[in-house]
């Protein structure tokens, strides 16, 4: 069964940086839009960013624009989320998933289009 494996989370201070990685053993990412999402207890899963396969375009939620960068390394079959200037409100479990219906990211993510959710990686930002 295909499942993403996220890594790179941790406990950092406000203003610090982290780089999250996302890989799916046995699944070739090329051809699919890949999204990063986050969730805090009691709240819905939120789309953070998406990287298209078809044209290299990217999408970010407003709260992370200018701070986070998503990029793909097709040779390593890995998608990264570089997170700079982290804030306490970025604290969440971060997940990645593949959009099996699109190779190009939509401006607004539709969660049911995404599959192969992993266990996530915890990011905690202290003030």
| Per-residue confidence band for 119, with pLDDT thresholds at 50, 70 and 90 | very high
Which residues lie below 8 Å from residue 25, measured CB to CB, with a gap of 6+?
2, 5
Q: How far, in Å, CA of 111 to CA of 97, rounded?
A: 9
| Per-residue confidence band for 54, with pLDDT thresholds at 50, 70 and 90 | confident
Q: Is the pLDDT of residue 4 over 90?
A: yes
**Within 10 Å of residue 73's Cβ, how many Cβ atoms?**
12
Average pLDDT over the chain reads 96
**Within 10 Å of residue 42's Cβ, how many Cβ atoms?**
5
Q: What is the pLDDT of residue 80?
A: 98
Q: What is the pLDDT of residue 74?
A: 83
């Amino acid at each position: 069964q295909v499942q993403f494996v996220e890594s790179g989370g941790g406990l950092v201070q406000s203003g610090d940086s982290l780089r999250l990685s996302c890989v799916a053993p046995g699944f070739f990412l090329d051809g699919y839009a890949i999204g990063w999402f986050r969730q805090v207890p009691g709240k819905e899963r939120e789309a953070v960013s998406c990287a298209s396969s078809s044209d290299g375009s990217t999408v970010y939620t407003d709260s992370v624009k200018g701070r986070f960068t998503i990029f793909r390394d097709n040779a390593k079959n890995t998608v990264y989320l570089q997170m700079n200037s982290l804030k306490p409100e970025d604290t969440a479990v971060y997940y990645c998933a593949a959009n099996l219906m699109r190779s190009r990211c939509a401006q607004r993510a539709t969660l049911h289009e995404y599959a192969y959710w992993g266990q996530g990686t915890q990011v905690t930002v202290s003030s």
